[in-house]
C-alpha cells in the first residue's frame, strides 16, 4: 500500500543519492531477509530532500508491501499523518486505534506477520 505524493516530473540529477538509498535498503542478512531499516535525509531547505525521498519511494515501490509517507514538519503534522494511516484498510482490519501510538505499534508489528 502506498499513500504519498508523486515526485516531480522535473526531478533530475540526484542519482548518486538514489543509488546509495537503493544499496542501503537492499542489503540482506545471511538468510535473505532484509532487516528493518530507516534513513534520514538532511540538508538545507530547497536542496531536493523531499524529491529524493519521493523518487526513491516511486522507483522501489514494487519491492515493498507498505510505504508510509509521514509529514514530520512538526508534531501536529506528524500526528495527523499517523492518524491517517489508521484509516488504511489493513489497519482497520487489524483494529488499529486512531492514536499515533497505536499506529506506530501496528507498523512495528508488520514485520512479524
- Indicate whether 113 pLDDT > 50: no
Specify if 21 maps to a domain.
yes
Instruction: Please give the residue range of the domain that contains residue 58.
Output: 11-25+40-64
Q: Is the pTM of this model over 0.75?
A: no
Same domain, 53 and 90: no
Q: Is the pLDDT confidence value at 6 over 90?
A: no
Residue 56 within a domain: yes
User: What secondary structure, in 3-state letters, does the chain show?
Assistant: CEECCCCCCCCCCCHHHHHHHHHHHHCCCCCCCCCCCCCCCCCCCCCCHHHHHHHHHHHHHHHCCCEECCCCCCHHHHHHHHHHHCCCHHHHHCCCCCCHHHHHHHHHHHHHC
Instruction: Please give the average per-residue pLDDT across 21-43, as a whole number.
Output: 77
As a whole number, mean pLDDT of residues 34-63 equals 84
| 54 lies in the same domain as 82 | no
User: What's residue 34's pLDDT?
Assistant: 65
User: Does residue 33 belong to any structural domain of this protein?
Assistant: no
Domain match, 94 and 107 both: yes
Amino acid at each position: 500500500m502506498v499513500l504519498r505524493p508523486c515526485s516531480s516530473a522535473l526531478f533530475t540529477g540526484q542519482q548518486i543519492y538514489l543509488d546509495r538509498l537503493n544499496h542501503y535498503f537492499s542489503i540482506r542478512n545471511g538468510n535473505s531477509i532484509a532487516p528493518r531499516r530507516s534513513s534520514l535525509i538532511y540538508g538545507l531547505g530547497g536542496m531536493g530532500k523531499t524529491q529524493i525521498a519521493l523518487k526513491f519511494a516511486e522507483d522501489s515501490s514494487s519491492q515493498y508491501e507498505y510505504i508510509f509517507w509521514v509529514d514530520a514538519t512538526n508534531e501536529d503534522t506528524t500526528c495527523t499523518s499517523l492518524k491517517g494511516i489508521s484509516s488504511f484498510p489493513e489497519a482497520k482490519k487489524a483494529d488499529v486505534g486512531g492514536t499515533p501510538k497505536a499506529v506506530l505499534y501496528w507498523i512495528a508489528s508488520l514485520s512479524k506477520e
